[in-house]
Structure formats: structure tokens, C-alpha cells
Amino acid sequence: MNAPANTSTLRLYQIADDYLTALDALAELDDLPAEAIADTLEGLAGTFQDKAANVAAYIRTLDAEAAAIAAARQAMERRQGALERHAGRLRDYLKGQMERTGIPRVKNPWVAVRVQPNPQSVVIEDESLLPKCFKESITTVKLLKAEIGKALKAGKPVTGARLERTTRLVIQ
């Protein structure tokens, strides 16, 4: 069982495969001293742990970068919203002043502005007075997963649902 010369280039799955192969091979050898078995497994386990620690550190780096991007996106969205609100207020201000003065158009070499009527839109004044032919009922179903979970944990059968325990990776 010769270990590769440069384990830093091995992938974690390759190291795991080597470890499992070594376990199988060592289980078949009856005449190998216990010390040799321990040394072999310790070396492979150490390599695996080093590589796993490096992968976990890289995961942390990626998580931190993703969090930084999310924070930057939130800051940009706030800035975008502020700019859009400011532009809207200025648009309303300019329109109001043009209507107030009766000047429907402003032209210059950089920009042309005019006040024009919008297409007609429907305004609902009292929804309860509208005839039924103008209404549509929509039914939505919301699954109460917390209640389903409580019932299942209490031992009650719930057709179409089950409890499942999964695992997660914790990096500390």
C-alpha cells in the first residue's frame, strides 16, 4: 500500500477511496502487525482530516463571499429604491409645476418634456357593489407543516406526510 507522492493534489473523494480501500486490504491481511495497521490508518486518516479541513475552510470563504455579495446587493437595492423615489418626486414636482403654469411642453437640446393624458383606467370605488359577473373567486391552499409535524411527532398517522431526519454539515 504505497501512498501517492503528493497528496495535496488528491481530491477528497480520492483520499476517502484510498482510506476505504486500505481498510478492506488491511482486513484481509492476517499476518500484518497491529502497529503497521495503526500507522497506515493514522496516516490516511490524517491526510483525510487535513484535506477535509481545507475543504471546510474553503466553504467558509465561499460563505463569507456570498454574504458580502448579499450585503452589497441589499445596499445597492436600497440605493436603487432611494434614487427611484427621488426621481418620482421630481417627476411629480415638474409635472405639477407644468400643469400649474399651463406650459404643456418644454424643449431644449438635451431633453424634451411634455404632459400628456394617460389611457383610461378602472377605479374601484366600492367592491361590494360590483355585480358578481365582474368577480372571480380564487381558492388557495396552505399546508400547515408545523401542525402536521406535531401530529406526526405525537404518533398520529397523517396520510401523505412523514417525518424525515436528514443531516447537515456544521463548520465551526
CA-closest candidate to residue 22, choices 36, 7, 8: 36
What rounded mean pLDDT belongs to the chain?
88
The range of the structural domain enclosing residue 69 comes to: 7-115
Range name among 35-39, 72-76, 78-82 with the lowest pLDDT average: 35-39
Distance between first and last Cα of the chain: 34
CA atoms of 87 and 85, how far apart (whole Å): 5
Q: Is residue 44 part of a domain?
A: yes
Q: Is residue 13 part of a domain?
A: yes
Considering the chain, what percentage of its residues have pLDDT values greater than 70? 95
In this prediction, residue 138 has a pLDDT band, given cuts at 50, 70 and 90, of: very high
Where does 31-162 show beta strands of DSSP type E?
105-107, 112-114
Q: Quote the pLDDT of residue 153.
A: 95
The 3-state DSSP class for residue 19 equals helix
Q: Is 16 exposed, middle or buried (0-12, 13-18, 19+ CB in 10 A)?
A: middle
* Number of structural domains the chain divides into: 1
Q: Is residue 143 part of a domain?
A: no
Q: Is it the case that residue 159 has pLDDT exceeding 90? A: yes
CA atoms of 3 and 118, how far apart (whole Å): 77
What's the average model confidence in pLDDT over 50-78?
93
* Contacts by residues 57-60 (CB-CB < 8 Å, ≥ 24 positions apart): 59/169, 59/171, 60/171
Q: What global pTM score does this model have?
A: 0.59
- Which amino acid is present at 133? C
Q: What is the CA radius of gyration of the chain?
A: 34
Q: Is residue 33 part of a domain?
A: yes
Q: Is it the case that residue 123 has pLDDT exceeding 50? A: yes
Q: Is residue 135 part of a domain?
A: no
Q: Is residue 153 part of a domain?
A: no
Q: Quote the pLDDT of residue 140.
A: 95
Query: Quick one: cell of 90?
Result: 421630481
